[in-house]
Amino acid sequence: MGLGEDTYLLGGRALLPGGEFAAADLRLRNGVIAEIEPGLRPASGSAVVEVTGFVMPGLIDAHTHVSWAGREPMPNTWAGVVGRARGNRLRMLAAGVTTIRDVGSLDGVAFEPSGGPACFCANQIVCAVGGHGTETAEAWAGLPKLAREARGADAFRAAVRYQADRGAHLVKLTLNAAELEVTPEEAAAAVNEAHRLGRRVACHASIPDAIDIAIEAGADTIEHGNGATPAQLRRMAAAGIVLVPTAWIFERFLDEARRADAGAVGERAWPPPVEIWEARVAAHREVVSDAVAAGVVLAAGTDAIEGCDPDSLADEILTLHRLGLEPIDALRAATEGGAAALGDPGRGALREGAAADVVVFEASPRDVVRDRIRPAMVFQGYCGHVKAYFYVQA
């Protein structure tokens, strides 16, 4: 399926921009969707794939850590970290994820040659000295750092320039952990420098004060958004700031706390007690509901870290559905919403000229969400070609 070759997907029901499925055939050429309409007639010699099912844009994980996710303990060698990242990306692709937004990995690892989804990467996290992002420094001693620390506006600008010079597609800025760690002046300096360099900014903001700073600084996306008030969410909607709520990971932490409490002996550092996580999760569920009511664009992201499967986007989609989104809207958070987070209208939708990133499900969207069904086929636009992957469902 190379340059100048047509690939036809015939017979499916395609998710069209706007959220409706309709009978439509697709012609893929040179890595993009060249045509989409019912009744296409393949030219002689074209590749033809008969589709029986639902055709969707490739899924987008808008918040992941490609070198970090995985059930096994984090490797402590560069080769091990790179190998883990490669394996993670292949697992993501098999789950229908054709694009990822890596919002913090060890310096340089996301640039290593690898198959799997297209990667929009932030490279390192930019944070305050000793701030959120530095917690793993001891565990990964001797390896390139996950975070680049800064103090003062000039240092934050320099940290942003470093990521851009390394080839980062965006900047990840963490504003808080338990408490606020970055000043409004530092945040504004980082965001302005990133925008000057043509990079979007993802702000980790999980307390109300941090959310205010992210909005004022002009962040493009807010990651997590815990504690966001209805007024803040209305400001986000008006400014076009995308919310990546990473709802599933907090539900997972609550499950961890319940299991830990069941077998607890004495005090522990992690996870906090069940009652603390129950309150946090209940509050975050309200944030997601209020965000929808305010008209904030949601993007699905896993925040898959050590101990989490890298291909957990289906869990985030299901969680968003359980929090009140219709199945099709939860799926759109993983397609159109992800593209909005990336700032890339050429992804996340089946339209002419968009990337030929396409997934085919044999089940209905409602069943896909409810049962976390994996795709039967994945097509990926890549360097002017179209890659095709076919999976046998268990």
pLDDT averaged over consecutive 10-residue blocks of the chain (394 residues)?
Answer: 78 90 96 96 93 95 92 88 93 95 94 87 97 81 92 99 98 97 99 99 98 99 98 99 97 87 64 86 97 98 89 95 94 97 96 96 88 90 81 62
Please indicate, yes or no, if residue 308 is contained in any of the structural domains: yes
Please indicate, yes or no, if residue 37 is contained in any of the structural domains: yes
**Which strand ranges, in their side-by-side order, compose the sheet holding 385-390?**
20-23, 13-16, 54-57, 358-361, 377-382, 385-390
CATH number at residue 103: 3.20.20.140
Q: Verify that 141 and 174 share a domain, yes or no.
A: yes
Sign (positive or negative) of CA dihedral 117, 373, 54, 46: positive
- What does the DSSP 8-state code read for residue 94? H
Q: Verify that 316 and 352 share a domain, yes or no.
A: no
Q: Verify that 38 and 79 share a domain, yes or no.
A: no
Q: Verify that 174 and 164 share a domain, yes or no.
A: yes
275: containing domain = 59-342
Report the alpha-carbon angle 172-108-344, nearest 5: 50
Q: Are strands 97-102 and 59-64 parallel, antiparallel or unpaired?
A: parallel
So what's the pLDDT on residue 137?
67
So what's the pLDDT on residue 267?
64
Is residue 53 helix, strand or coil? Answer: coil
Please indicate, yes or no, if residue 72 is contained in any of the structural domains: yes
CA 83, distance to chain mean position in Å, is 21
Q: What is the DSSP string of 196-257?
A: HTT-EEEEEE-SHHHHHHHHHHT-SEEEE-TT--HHHHHHHHHHTPEEE--HHHHHHHHHHH
Q: How many domains are contained in the chain?
A: 2
Q: Verify that 44 and 130 share a domain, yes or no.
A: no
Please indicate, yes or no, if residue 1 is contained in any of the structural domains: no
Q: Verify that 123 and 28 share a domain, yes or no.
A: no
Q: Verify that 135 and 48 share a domain, yes or no.
A: no
Please indicate, yes or no, if residue 219 is contained in any of the structural domains: yes
Q: Length of the chain, please?
A: 394
